[in-house]
Amino acid sequence: MAETILITGATGTVGREVVRQLVSVDSKVNIKAAGHLLQELEKIIEDDRIKSTQIDFNEPETLRDALKSTDKVFLLTPFQSDMLQYSSNMLAEIKNAGDIKHIVKLSVMGAEFEPGGRLHLQAEKMIEGSGIPYTFLRPNAFMQNFVNFYSHIIKEKGTLSVPAGDGKVSFVDARDIAAVAVQALIGNNDGKHNSKTYDITGPEAISYNYAVNILSEQVGKKISYVDVSKDDAIKAMKDISLDEWLIDIILEGYNNLRKGYFSPVTTVVEEITGRRPTFFNEFAKEHAEVFR
């Protein structure tokens, strides 16, 4: 009988890719693509094995319905101040369901010291204590962030302004994160991924300045990196109405970045998937048009 896997956060950068790759690599798996907005879920239904499931992490009955006849869960919760409560609500329903075989949770690299990661770490501890087999995925910063967060300003002003100094980051392609997730979900019959924590990175650690130089080459226009001050960064974030909670976390994250906390490079992608991870210049070449 085909397994059924529930993918939460299915319309996001990683979740959407997990759904796509599951369909392409396993012809037997059934997928429940779960998210808050039904109209967004409908956009990713590209195969009759994918069923959309609307959930609200604050509404246990929606989680209960989504978990019916489900074998495994890819747990991706929104990055918000009440994220831990979301995880707690979901875990309670998973335990009540009683027949979930495996939880694969998307966490964050450096959860022990990364400011936003502390919430992920607490969620990890809850899952560990549940007795349900688990795998924790801890990726570094996504290459897709350059597209999702920076492409508009690069197009308009030809600059990328962040308080990162010369700190280096082993940026990882979200598609490589998804590939590891897929293997943890469908390649775990012998339990080899149980109780494992995987730090997922790209193949190299680069500075934002280096990344911008690569983008300049691939896009075909000069893009400048501006190492802005803390005060200027705060003003820019307040100008777009970010919460104080999130501003504090972002600033602490950049401070850790400058200290080199996000520069380690791992071989997890190759070890789990059998292929090397994506280099930033490859990503930049593929997505050059969005920066022009």
Same domain? For 150 and 213 the reply is: yes
Residue 80 lies in a domain: yes
Three-state DSSP class for residue 38: helix
pLDDT at site 79:
86
Residue 268 lies in a domain: no
Residue 271 lies in a domain: no
pLDDT at site 200:
98
Least confident of 30-34, 43-47, 124-128, 229-233: 43-47
Per residue in 66-119, pLDDT (tens digit) is 999 999 999 999 988 899 999 999 999 999 998 999 999 999 998 887 767 889
Q: Residue 175: which of 27, 43, 21, 46 has the closest Cα? A: 21
Instruction: Name the residue range of residue 43's domain.
Output: 4-140+173-200
The C-alpha atoms of residue 22 and residue 186 are separated, in whole angstroms, by 8
Same domain? For 285 and 227 the reply is: yes
Three-state DSSP class for residue 123: helix
**Tokens read off for 185:** 């979900």
Per residue in 187-203, pLDDT (tens digit) is 998 999 999 999 999 99
pLDDT at site 77:
95
Does the pLDDT value for residue 8 go beyond 90? Answer: yes
Domain CATH number, residue 181: 3.40.50.720
End-to-end Cα, the chain, rounded Å: 48
pLDDT at site 89:
97
Residue 19 lies in a domain: yes
Does the pLDDT value for residue 1 go beyond 80? Answer: no
- Helical residues (DSSP H) of the chain, grouped into ranges: 13-25, 38-42, 60-67, 83-97, 117-128, 144-145, 151-157, 174-186, 208-219, 230-239, 244-258, 268-273, 280-286
Please state the φ and ψ torsions of residue 45, each to the nearest 5 degrees: -85, 95
Same domain? For 112 and 186 the reply is: yes
The C-alpha atoms of residue 182 and residue 196 are separated, in whole angstroms, by 14
Three-state DSSP class for residue 196: strand
Does the pLDDT value for residue 26 go beyond 80? Answer: no
Same domain? For 126 and 150 the reply is: no
Same domain? For 195 and 231 the reply is: no
The C-alpha atoms of residue 287 and residue 292 are separated, in whole angstroms, by 10
Same domain? For 14 and 93 the reply is: yes
The C-alpha atoms of residue 188 and residue 35 are separated, in whole angstroms, by 25
Three-state DSSP class for residue 77: coil
Buried b (16+ CB within 10 A) or exposed e, 77-90: beeeeebbebbebb
Domain CATH number, residue 163: 3.90.25.10
Residue 269 lies in a domain: no
Residue 270 lies in a domain: no
Residue 20 lies in a domain: yes
Same domain? For 113 and 161 the reply is: no
Total structural domains in the chain?
A: 2
Same domain? For 221 and 129 the reply is: no
Does the pLDDT value for residue 122 go beyond 90? Answer: yes
Same domain? For 61 and 193 the reply is: yes
H or E element in which residue 53 lies: strand 50-54
Three-state DSSP class for residue 258: helix
Same domain? For 196 and 212 the reply is: no
The C-alpha atoms of residue 158 and residue 78 are separated, in whole angstroms, by 30
**Chosen domain end from 157, 182, 200:** 200
Same domain? For 165 and 211 the reply is: yes
**Tokens read off for 230:** 């803390």
Same domain? For 76 and 111 the reply is: yes
